Structure 1
Amino acid sequence: MSHSHPPEVLFLLATGCHHCPMVLESLTQQLKQGDIARLDAINIVNSPEVAQQLGVRSVPWTRIGRFELDGVLSPKEVAQWVERAGLETGVADYFSESLAAQRSDKVIRWLEDSPEDLQALLVLQQNDATPMAARIGIGVVMEQLEGDPRLSHALPTLITLSRSKQANIRADVAHYLGLTHHPDARPVLLQMANDSHPDVREIAEESLVLLNNASG
């Protein structure tokens, strides 16, 4: 494996943690191979303030690049996440696995720093391989961000997806467009209110009402 910019890794462990040595060994091997640039391992028994600052409640805990990973990682999973840290698709993979594990909070924290990555979230929406739990999680994230200016980053992709051949995707998009509270969503929703599918029409009309209420 080769990275133009190998990721840095932070690993939290604790004395007596049964699984921590295995994960640390896998990370050390990646460091020796040159696949990660730096490995910082911290024993939270001696430095509890680090765990407190990061909001970490259990170990092992690993941050590879920006990917925060809870629990045990096999050598294969460690190598996979190290590789994903250098791939354009890595963010979407991280979102998918976080949402499938019902950790929408991770995705929302990520979007606080990088709202442009909403595009990666919506890529999952149109990917047939996205697990149902992750699809549900996308809706949870979008609803928690209702009215947030960050949702404006999603508008170009939502407008494109509003023309999807799949009615279920168009229905979700109609819902999300309303959540943006953005005036540019209105003409798209007006078109979707005449969609060939009744569910899409109904949700588009509900979202138009939402937009009207949001605009006061």
Structure 2
Amino acid sequence: MLLSTHCAHCPSVLNSLAELVKQGVLGKLEVINLEQRPEVARQLGVHSVPCVRIGPFELTGQRSLAEFRQWAQTSATHEGVRDYIETMLAEGEVERVLTMIAKDAGVMARVIELLDFADEKLNVRLGIGVIMEEYEGRSLLQEYIPQLGKLTQHADPRVRGDACHYLALTHSSNAREFVRKLLHDENADVREVAEESLPTLR
């Protein structure tokens, strides 16, 4: 945990984390006061406190004991990573997710999984779009053509349309067959996306 002496939220966050250590949910807790060690903030790229890192998760601001327990208990699971990504995107923290992908390319699979939930918040879907555009034409996105291709068969036309658009961003001929099938989709919007996407897949 990174804190500062004059932070209003740091004491309650520290108490929550200490309680999780006492309960055995967390194995250890390292606390650094950035007013005494400002170089740590520069090294880690931290701009605000409290800042807590639990496994691959970085959490800033006021969080409840229940939230910290959830993140601690799920930090090593695919579902936990996906839930964390959803939370970060909902809060507008796209850069945080991009940093995770840069460290672990497999995180992209969890981002794509979020498309499968048709009732996602608008911020989440917009955030997914920003991430996909960041990797347009790059090999990492091309690796996930099969996963995106499977979503072109989703029951929700919005998911099919999104998957089709992101397949187009791969610029790979390997995505062409998935997109071509959507030219005959029952939904007019999906057909339109497919028609616009196909020329980009040479």
Matched, 1:66 2:49: no
Give the CA deviation at 1:129: 4.7
Aligned residues: 202
Q: What is the aligned partner in structure 2 of residue 44 from structure 1?
A: 34
**Letter of the aligned partner of 1:124 in structure 2?**
L
Describe the superposition over 1:159-216 as per-residue Cα deviations: whole angstroms up to 9, x where unpaired: 111111211111111100011122210111111122222211211122222234xxxx
Distance 1:210 1:51 in 2: 43
Counterparts of 1:8-157 in structure 2, within 5 Å, are 11-157=1-147
2:197 matches 1:194:
no
CA RMSD of aligned residues (A): 1.4
* 1:168 matched residue in structure 2: 158
Alignment CA distance shift 1:17-1:113 (3 Å): same
- Return 98-107 or 200-209, whichever deviates more: 200-209
Higher mean displacement: 148-157 or 98-107:
148-157
What is the CA deviation profile of residues 88-147 of structure 1, one whole-angstrom value per residue up to 9, with x for unaligned ones?
300110110111111111111111122222221122111245322212211111112111
Return the structure number with greater helix share: 2
Whichever residue aligns with residue 169 of structure 1, its letter is: V
Give % identity: 40
In structure 1, how many angstroms separate the alpha carbons of the residues matched to 2:87 and 2:15?
23
Aligned residue number for residue 209 of structure 1: 199
Is the deviation greater in 102-111 or in 116-125?
116-125
Moved segments of 4+, more than 6 Å: none
2:31 counterpart SS class: strand
Please, which runs of 5 or more residues in structure 1 have no aligned partner?
1-10
Contact kept in structure 2, 1:115 and 1:153, CA below 8 Å: no
Relative to the length of structure 1, the TM-score reads 0.88
Structure 2-normalised TM-score?
0.94
Unaligned runs of 5+ in 2: none
